[in-house]
Amino acid sequence: MTVEILPSAWEGLARIKCHVQADFGEDVALNVADRILNSLERLEQFPDSGSMTPDPWLNNMGFRMVISDKRNVSIFRKVGESIFVYIIADTRTEYTKVFKDMLLSDPGVIG
C-alpha cells in the first residue's frame, strides 16, 4: 500500500507548522510535522486503521481520519492499492466545508 499526500494536504501541513513555529519555535514545529507524517506512514502497513470522521457525508464517500497530537487530523481515502491524503488540519476544521470548497475549485479532486 502506498500513501500519497496530495498538494492540499501538504499546504495544510505547512500552515500547521507555521502556526506552531510562531508560538513555540522551529524545533517544536518540526517535531509536530514529524509526528503527523509518521502517523501517515503507518497507514502503509495498516491501511484500515484510523476512524470514521465526525461528518456523515465524508464517511459515506469512504473517507477516514487519523488524529495526531490530539490537535491535528489527516483525512484520507483508500482507493485500490493507494491511500490518498486530502487534508491535514487542526481537529476543529469543518471538513465538509473544506471538501466542498475543494470541489468548487477542482471538481475532479475527489473523483
Report the CATH superfamily, name and number, of domain 2-105: RelE-like (3.30.2310.20)
The predicted-structure confidence for 30-40, as pLDDT tens digits, reads as follows 999 999 999 99
Greater confidence, 104 or 58? 58
Those residues with Cβ within 8 angstroms of residue 96's Cβ, 6 or more apart along the chain or in another chain: 55, 57, 58
Q: Which of 45, 80, 36, 83 is nearest to 64 (CA)?
A: 83
Backbone φ, ψ for residue 84 (5° rounding):
-105, 125
The structure's pTM equals: 0.89
